[in-house]
Amino acid sequence: MVYIPIMVPVDDLPLLAALDALLSERHVTRAARRLGITQSSMSHHLARLRLRFGDALLVRAGRAMALTPRAEAMAGPLREALDAVRRAVADADPFDPATTSRTFTLATPDLLAPALPDLLAAMNAAAPGAGLRALAQPVDAPAALASGACELLLGAAPASAPGVVLKRLGAIHWCVLARRGHPAFAGRLTVAAWERYPHVVVRSGNASPNRVARALEGAGVKRRVGVAVPGFLAAPWVVARTDMLFTAPRELVGEVVRALDLVMLDPPVALPAIPVAAMWHERVDGDAGHRWLRGVVVKALKARLAVGEG
């Protein structure tokens, strides 16, 4: 018999699987049983393979069948290639928080930095081997989520973006902090006292302080800047040792107020609340590990932000 060589298309996986079974079993009936097809179907596959490779592949050797040199050469690489395909399309290992060593990436504005200890405690309780990498809020949040630069993003709830899933968590409201015994805090904080004493302001690049500044400007109230600090966590320490005032997120500063013995009062003018949301890209919506992460984050943040409600 003369065989005309024809290449087997790499996307003809059923035919390649038949070839792998034939080369492994060296028997048409056993190969058919292995793939769950009839003996006649496997014989048909073998005939097609012989034509496509221009080689007998399997030949009679007494009562058994032997591989031709061409078949011997391709048997190992073919098995490795098909095993790689099977691994690629196999179901992922189930996610187990108790045993995972996965490191998650979370982007958050500096305003929410005081909430990180709560998130870490909740994560460590359920997943002691998991890690968390906290990033600054990206300039282009939808692009960062789409590219995988961050897995989950916290911040002021934006307008909807293509491919981005948004879960609203609550809102941040404002308070004013000062050291205990500060003369401006003898009673209700007045506009006059607000304007008389210098303020600590945060200049970290996010939009939150600008919302406060715009509200004050709209109310005709001036704020004298005593010092600008790079982050919200630094501001309470300045307040504790000076007569400066600091406008802070009420829901997030409870621990530092107690630790530094600060006083918390309402601002003398209405300041807009900031809605907070968790955001992620739809491409990770079904990922088991990501579902676990956002469940932990959403629960911890909603509980923290609920402190200021009512």
> How confident is the model over 177-203, as pLDDT tens digits?
999 999 888 778 899 999 999 999 988
The yes-or-no verdict on residue 267 having pLDDT over 50 is yes
Side-chain half-sphere CA neighbours of 186 within 13 A:
3
Look at residue 127 and give its three-state secondary structure: coil
Domain boundaries, the chain: 13-89, 103-171+274-308, 174-265
pLDDT score, position 1:
47
Which CATH superfamily, name and number, covers 174-265?
Answer: Periplasmic binding protein-like II (3.40.190.10)
What are the tens digits of pLDDT across the range 88-110?
766 566 889 999 999 999 998 88
- CATH topology agreement for domains 103-171+274-308 and 174-265: yes
DSSP designation for 237: H
Q: Give tens-digit pLDDT for 30-50.
A: 888 888 889 999 899 999 999
Q: Is the pTM of this model over 0.75?
A: no
Give the whole-angstrom CA distance, residue 36 versus residue 13.
Answer: 15
The reported pLDDT for the residue numbered 5 is: 42
Mean pLDDT across the stretch 219-223? Answer: 87
Report pLDDT digits (tens) over 4-19: 344 445 557 788 888 9
Looking at 55-59, 95-99, 204-208, which range is the least confident one?
A: 204-208
Q: How confident is the model at residue 209 (pLDDT cuts 50, 70, 90)?
A: very low
The average confidence (pLDDT) of the chain is 85
Given a cut of 70, is residue 158 above it in pLDDT? no
Fold for domain 13-89? Arc Repressor Mutant, subunit A (1.10.10)
Q: What is the architecture of the domain spanning 103-171+274-308? A: 3-Layer(aba) Sandwich (3.40)
Give the contacts of 138 (CB within 8 A, at least 6 positions apart).
107, 144, 149, 150, 153
* 140 pLDDT tier (thresholds 50, 70, 90): confident
